[in-house]
Amino acid sequence: MEYCSRGDLRKLLNAPENCCGLKESQVLSVLSDVGSGIQYLHENRIIHRDLKPENIVLQDEAGKILYKIIDLGYAKDLDQGSLCTSFVGTLQYLAPELFENSSYTKTVDFWSLGTVVFECITGFRPFLHNQQPFAWHEKIKRKDPKCIFAWEEMTGEVRFSAYLPTPNSLCSTIVESVEPWLQMMLTWDPQQRGGGMDPDTNSYRCFQVMEQLLSLKIVHILNMTSAKILSYSLHPEESLHSLQVRIESDTGISLGNQELLLEMGSCLDPRKPASQCVIDGVKGWDSYMVYLFDKSKTTYEGPFASRTLSDSVNYIVKDSKIQLPVFQLRKIWAEAVHYVIGLKDDYSRLFQGQRAAMLSLLRYNTNLTNRKNNMISASQQLKAKLNFFQQSIHLDLERYSDQMTYGISSEKMLKAWKDMEEKASLCEKVADIGSLDEQIMALHTEIVELQRSLHVRRQNDVMENLEQRAIELYKQLKSRPPDHVYSDSTEMVRIIVQTVQSQDWVLKELFRHLSKLLGCKQKIIDLLPSIDVALNSIKEADNSVMQMQGKRQREIWHLLKIACTQSSTRSASSSVDGPVPSSVPAWLSQTAQANVLQPLPFVEASRNTLNFAHLLEENLSYLDSFSAVIHEARHDQNSSMLSLDWSWLD
């Protein structure tokens, strides 16, 4: 036999924090697991006959709590068409026909299951839970078929309701679905109980309704502008746009200003269906939440939805010294404990919303950092290219001025190069992103300070202590001996007041910190277009510099090509017998003079040698011929270069 280590459902229900029922996720798990178990037994023609919280145990499997039915000692096999008459089971959860010693069918398990689920929702059984079954049997048998709850007034009058009592932890969408199911399960007539048989499926309608209820995809949205929770049952394949239209109708926040964040701060994808708000296998608004922000605001001033006191708790708050019977105080104090726990949970959910906003801000900050780095990298590259370009064109202009003395010049080319130099100076201003970088760094500093703030951590220590005090006070009340029949509520009311005051303070600080987060996020949103503009300007300037560099290089090479072509043509057609020109370059003139006027020492020693004299004369002849060639080539180039078509420089 399997060992279940987490105890039974009764132990869970008796926990003080569950005095007004289990959390929604727990209720749905009980309904799913126990309901499926009963359905399985019935399909195998077995009646359990003793379903109660003590016979439902909890087992932890891979972090998920499963609810399992045990103790089949009273289970009975059904022969086809048989009816059972043996009287077994725990009285508080027995179906009415068992009290009458009447024949019964498997619908007795429906009554027991409905009673267990009702108790899981509210913390107590549905019909006059303070009385013994034999006492309330006659009072309840005349109830309306849809009645699921009965209580007794102080006057002794029994009141009935077709709706779940409050407080409980179910969202309105689940309440609307579970109430009709409970009406089927808690019908007095055993023939009508469970909704009757469906001839098409040959199963009870209650199981179909249960499956429909459990298959609902419900998205729970915490409106951070009002602290109110919105729950929506999603239609099959409903789009995110459709969901946002419904949100706009309920909140007044226009679709364009809605920002829906998941717990990790990521935004919903508008291309995906609305079901992205729901995690498969995770049910209950206490387990998963989506957070709604209004992008048009950075400060949320309310009004904020506040948890309301039940009538009974409000009664003792108005007069904490009033003496009431202990059996009444147990119910009132249970609701008071539920209220104190609810205040703490409300803060915790809003804190999770603030945390989602913080994570979203960090995502935006990461995007800002990446774009800033791209901008700085592009700026540095532009500065490097500008530096190279400016040095190159400065050198080219200097060399151009030097060579103009030899007759090669172009006013159009010179003007084009000077225009390039001016454009390069303008590009320097584009590369200067100092002011924008300072704004980004200041914003980074502000975000770091927000991360270090105490308000990024939960500030509910005081409320947790008050919660424990309220629970301990409730436990003491339950353990009082019968002779203590009356008591006041002074201490419990003091805890309630202190919890309300504590929540007011932490919420004020939370929304103040949230405003700073949203303000920083808005600054990032405002900065991003400026960064994009700066980056685009830098890229345009970079392209401009590269184009100017390419154009200048093409001009130089084209000029060199023309010069080389002209020089080669003239050199090939020139005679080498001309006299040495008088206007030759200084370096050539100096070389010739040095060769002529400065004879070498060994020549002086061999002056009378005829062979050496002949050699010297031959060298001088070659020098004269070379000088003549250079002079003629320079003259021809001087006259032809100015007549060339320089329109390609425009």
Q: Which residues contact 13 (CB under 8 A, 6 or more apart)?
A: 22, 53, 119, 120, 123
3-state secondary structure of 487: strand
Which residue from 160, 184, 152 is spatially nearest to 327, judged by alpha carbons? 152
Report how far apart, in Å, the C-alpha atoms of 448 and of each of 365, 556, 557 are. 10, 54, 55
* Token couple for 612: 């050496």
In order of 36, 294, 322, 491, 590, the CA distances from 319 in angstroms are 47, 41, 6, 12, 122
Amino acid at 471: I
How far is it, in rounded angstroms, from Cα 203 to Cα 96?
A: 22
| Residue 227 Ramachandran class (φ > 0 left, ψ -120 to 50 alpha, else beta) | left
How crowded is residue 293: how many other Cβ atoms within 10 Å of its Cβ?
25
Structure tokens at 453: 């703030």
Burial profile 79-111: b = 16 or more Cβ within 10 angstroms, e = fewer:
eeeeebeeeebbeebbbbbbeeeeebbbbbbbb
Are 187 and 113 contacting, i.e. CB atoms less than 8 angstroms apart?
no
For tokens 């070659």, the residue is: 622
Q: State whether residue 231 is helix, strand or coil.
A: strand
CA separation (Å) from 488 to 327, 348, 470, 492, 496? 12, 31, 14, 9, 14
50 is catalytic: yes
Angle 175-219-525 (CA atoms, 0-180°, nearest 5)?
Answer: 145
Among candidates 136, 191, 190, which has minimal Cα distance to 160? 136
In a 13 Å sphere around the CA of 455, the CA atoms on its Cβ side amount to: 22
Residue whose entry in the numeric block shows the structure tokens 């454009």? 423
In the chain, % helix, strand, coil (3-state, to 5) comes to: 60, 10, 30
Question: Smallest Cα–Cα separation from 118: which of 214, 48, 183?
Answer: 183
Asked if 169 contacts 24 with a C-beta cutoff of 8 angstroms, the reply is: yes
Catalytic residue among 8, 33, 50, 396: 50
For residues 623 and 580, give the distance between their C-alpha atoms in angstroms, rounded to a whole number. 8
Per DSSP bridges, beta strands 46-47 and 76-77 are antiparallel
How far are the Cα atoms of 455, 511, 521, 633 from residue 452, in angstroms, in the given order? 8, 17, 17, 80
Q: Which H or E run contains 623?
A: helix 610-641
Q: How many CA atoms lie within 13 A of 2 on its CB side?
A: 15
Distance CA 143, CA 130 (A): 18
Give the residue numbers marked as catalytic: 50
